Amino acid sequence: MARSLSDVASVRVQVKGLQRPTRHLPVHAHGPEWAVRLVLIRHAEPEANIAGVVAGHKGCTGLTARGRAQAEALAVRLRNEAEHFDVLYSSVLPRAVETAEIIAAALDLTPVRKDCDLCELHPGECDGMSWDEQVRRYGPGDTRDPDQPMSPGGESVRSFDLRVRDTLRRLIELHAGESVAVVTHGGFIIVSMLALLDAGGLADERGFVLAPGYTSLTEWDRADDSQTWALRRYNDTGHLFFLP
């Protein structure tokens, strides 16, 4: 069984990666004991993954039965561990909202705050297409210019990267001294990791892969008002161990 990063050690890093590449603005947040605690949760397994469709606002239809079981397992774990959050956010996509509502019910934490800036990369007019059709019409993602949208009306890799960084800064500034849970998407968590690790942008080449699993927990906090963050755990899916 793979060990999560939290099983080994906490990692302290500088927050330079939250600076916008074109403006170099640092993040500043103020809290009485620690600036902010962020727990990023990937949504559970969606129906769109099984159907093989592009899952934006149109293509996302919520969770599979297995996905609901995954979200329930996470909710039970958080309740049993007496986890405390001051606020629970979700993207507006059904797979994230459904996951967040299951967690909220278990922790008696309502309402869920829905925010479109927490969504996965907006796909544009290919939303709801099969992935095969998307590739046929617009080409594979690995050959696309990072400034080119996924399809007309959508986001590019670079514009998505900037949106995530801006959203992180906004959450930190809004919730000084609070514990914040965010049910979001794999791409959002990946950019968050790159930003807080100061490991370049989403469009940059790198010698490692980030692949957060369904309902995984990724936790960061900053213990004071410096620019040093602690990564407490990454891709923690221990609650799924006994699921088929």
Q: Which tens digit of pLDDT belongs to each residue from 32-68?
A: 455 789 999 999 999 999 999 999 999 999 999 999 9
Name the nearest CA neighbour of 192 among 223, 215, 217: 217
Q: What is the pLDDT of residue 35?
A: 76
Catalytic residue among 43, 122, 185, 239: 43
Please tell me the predicted confidence (pLDDT) of residue 1: 35
Q: Which residue has the tokens 């561990």?
A: 81
CB 235 within 8 A of CB 216: yes
Is the Cβ–Cβ distance between 153 and 128 less than 8 Å?
Answer: no
Decide if pLDDT at 6 tops 70: no
- pLDDT at site 185: 98
What pLDDT shows up at residue 224?
67
- Can 43 be counted among the known catalytic residues? yes
Handedness of CA 21, 208, 15, 116 (dihedral sign): positive
Q: pLDDT tens digits, residue range 182-235?
A: 999 999 999 999 999 999 999 999 999 999 999 999 999 987 666 788 999 999
Q: What is the pLDDT of residue 97?
A: 98
In contact, 120 and 186? CB cutoff 8 Å = yes
Provide the mean pLDDT of the chain: 87
**CATH number of domain containing 90:** 3.40.50.1240
Token pair belonging to 109: 């934490």
pLDDT tens figures, 99-146:
999 999 999 998 999 999 999 999 999 999 999 999 999 999 888 999
Count up the domains in the chain and report the number.
1
Active site residue 28: no
- Overall pTM > 0.85: yes
Task: List phi, psi (to 5°) of 29.
Answer: -140, 150
Assess whether pLDDT exceeds 70 at residue 10.
no
Domain residue limits at 87: 5-240
Report pLDDT for 36. Answer: 87
Separation between Cα atoms, residue 131 and residue 86, nearest integer Å:
38
Give 221's strand partners.
37, 230
Query: 3-state class of 12 per DSSP?
Result: strand
Q: Which residue is catalytic, options 47, 101, 120, 155?
A: 120
Q: How many whole angstroms from its chain centre is CA 44?
A: 12
pLDDT (0 to 100) of residue 68: 98
